[in-house]
Amino acid sequence: MTGARSLLDILPAGVGTDDADVLAAYSHDKATFCPAGEPRALVRARATDDVVATLRWASEHRVPVVPQGTRTGLSGGANAIDGCVLLNLEKMNRILEIDAEEQIAVVEPGVINGDLANAVAERGLYYPPDPGSKDISTIGGNVATGAGGMCCVKYGTTADFVRGLSVVLADGRVMRTGRRTAKGVAGYDLTRLFVGSEGTLGIATEITLALRPARMRPLTAVGFFSSAEDACRAVARYLSEGFKPSVLEFMDAASIRAVGELTELGFPDGTGAMLIAQSDTAAASGELEAFERAAKDSAATEVIVAEDPAEGDLLMHARRLAGVAMEKQGPSLIDDICVPRRRLAELVRGIEKIANEHDVLISCVGHAGDGNIHPNVAFDANDERQVASAQRAFDAIMALGLELGGTITGEHGVGTLKRHWLARELDEAALWSHQQIKYALDPHGILNPGRVL
């Protein structure tokens, strides 16, 4: 493809490449069924200047730019577009500052979430957002998608921890948003506008994050239920009593089985669903006792309160393995709807019905405390009919989520996977506002075009 050379020439040696094999390796994120095009070049930015040079060039030549980190996204937002420049930020991975007194960190976008969490823990601090991908995904990607995780139920999502950004705009100008202070209302909240915009409005090259004081090592309880509906009822019952567990996770029978096959963990026979709750406040808070009560009042078959944090870690490990365990069973589509908590039982019942109607296997895990469930629609990639059924089931799940007053994506983002669905969730005026803002900040439409909108 022509034109790449004029970009590579203005970048420092080794930053850009148009090697076909390398391009192919960087052309996909982890989404299923999201097409990827053929990129023109790959830029592995080392510094903000590389991002500035790339965007200036792309703006001038009207070339689409696809920003990406470690490409762990699940919605195709980092997939190549034909003729695009892939702007990879994983090498901008320095933690620039950890200020323990002000409880903030300043990082480059390529820092791995877990690396930041460990680094701040060493300073007696806590960075709560913990997406399932925390050991492999970047803070920049977390910011781009507004990533969630298991601790959101108590502490909020990535968006709640972003204080400010340094953003390179489509034309290559650098803009600072937000602040380092605890509060501030000077002007529009551009920080929050950019968080979750999936690289369509600008590219963050420096991220200022709020931290929290270190917390107590959490204690864990697990409830087993004969049906998913009982478990969902326990969630609503527990939270409506006013408790704020730091984790409240759900696994259905299929995902429990999958994890069981991958590990030595034994789960009670006939388990239809499991809840994992954690408490990181003083034992006196009664958080886990309340969980036990709510679970038993919702027909739990067994409730175990882990006696020490290590035992709890093991149970959380089982939950974290669910993704890997499902992956091992073959290709699947991972959905991400979020509904009001009281509709959870209807949601899981509805998903069972969808699985039957479309004759596919759907397993569910999720952040039950937030009403955010990840149905995993499995299929045989060699069987065209199964592939089509899986796609129809995937769509039916989003329709159900909307019908129950929920959203098509709780934390994974829209990407290319769900952009046709965004128009069903938003009203006409909201879509118009999106398009107006996109055009206002990226008039030539070079930033990750066709994603989100």
Under rule CB under 8 A, which residues in 277-336 are in contact with a second copy? 281-282, 284-285
Measured distance CA(166)–CA(52) in Å, rounded: 12
Binding positions for a second copy, 185-214, rule CB under 8 A: 185-190, 192-193, 195-197, 201, 212-214
Which residue's CB is nearer to a second copy, number 91 or number 180? 180
| Sole window of 15-23, 66-74, 218-226, 337-345 interacting with a second copy (rule: CB under 8 A) | 337-345
Binding positions for a second copy, 423-442, rule CB under 8 A: 425-430, 432-434, 436-437, 439-441
Kindly state whether residue 410 participates in binding a second copy, applying the rule CB under 8 A. Answer: yes
Kindly state whether residue 422 participates in binding a second copy, applying the rule CB under 8 A. Answer: yes
Write down the least CB distance from residue 135 to a second copy, Å. Answer: 21
Which residue's CB is nearer to a second copy, number 222 or number 441? 441
Write down the least CB distance from residue 132 to a second copy, Å. Answer: 14
Binding mask 222-261 for a second copy (x = CB under 8 A): --------------x--xxxxxx-----------------
Q: How far is CA 203 from the centre of its chain?
A: 18
Which residue's CB is nearer to a second copy, number 68 or number 372? 372
Binding positions for a second copy, 101-130, rule CB under 8 A: 101-103, 124
Which residue's CB is nearer to a second copy, number 21 or number 188? 188
Measured distance CA(90)–CA(101) in Å, rounded: 28
**164, 406 contact by CB (below 8 A):** no
Kindly state whether residue 14 participates in binding a second copy, applying the rule CB under 8 A. Answer: no
Measured distance CA(297)–CA(238) in Å, rounded: 10
Binding positions for a second copy, 353-392, rule CB under 8 A: 367, 369-372
Measured distance CA(398)–CA(420) in Å, rounded: 11
Write down the least CB distance from residue 49 to a second copy, Å. Answer: 16
> What number of chain residues touch a second copy (CB under 8 A)?
88
Binding mask 132-171 for a second copy (x = CB under 8 A): -------------xx-x---xx---x-xx--------x--
